[in-house]
Amino acid sequence: MDDMEYDDAGHHVEDEEAPEEEMEEEVPAEDMYEGDDAGNDENKVQVLDESHKQPNAHRITTRYMTKYERARVLGTRALQISMNAPVMVDIEGETDPLKIAMKELRERKIPIIIRRYLPDNSFEDWSIDELIIE
């Protein structure tokens, strides 16, 4: 063969070094959103004030938990349980996080609030024990 070198697995090894990639200069977090792009709202977090919250007495959405809310609540809670969050029910030897989350939902012990957004930019907060689950 030529003067090329091969490693143990038979792959061609080049003598040239790979070009170094340009590194971006680190910017401290407090300086990240200051400066020329102060008018750019893409990178900012929107903080919702409580003025858009519907009072519990004036709720207009249904008391029934939708299948989409159920799926999201179960998935979120199962992820929390899999990351060693405290379990709110007696697990009786169960190890599957999704089954534990389903048991918590049946017993209405999941510590999650569902926020339903409305077209007028207001929202309603519902706890799990307030909703009808089918």
pLDDT at 35: 47
Determine, yes or no, domain membership for 78: yes
Structural domain of 100: 66-130
- Residue that the structure tokens 């089954």 belong to: 99
Determine, yes or no, domain membership for 90: yes
pTM above 0.75, yes or no: no
> How many whole angstroms separate alpha carbon 102 and alpha carbon 115?
20
pLDDT (tens digit per residue) in 80-105: 999 999 999 999 999 999 999 999 99
Determine, yes or no, domain membership for 112: yes
Length of the chain: 134
Name the 3-class secondary structure at 128. Answer: helix
Number of domains in the chain: 1
Pull the structure tokens for residue 128: 């799990």
Which CATH number covers residue 103?
A: 3.90.940.10
Contact predicate 81/89, CB 8 Å: no
Which phi-psi region, left, alpha or beta, contains residue 10 (left: φ > 0; alpha: ψ -120 to 50)? left
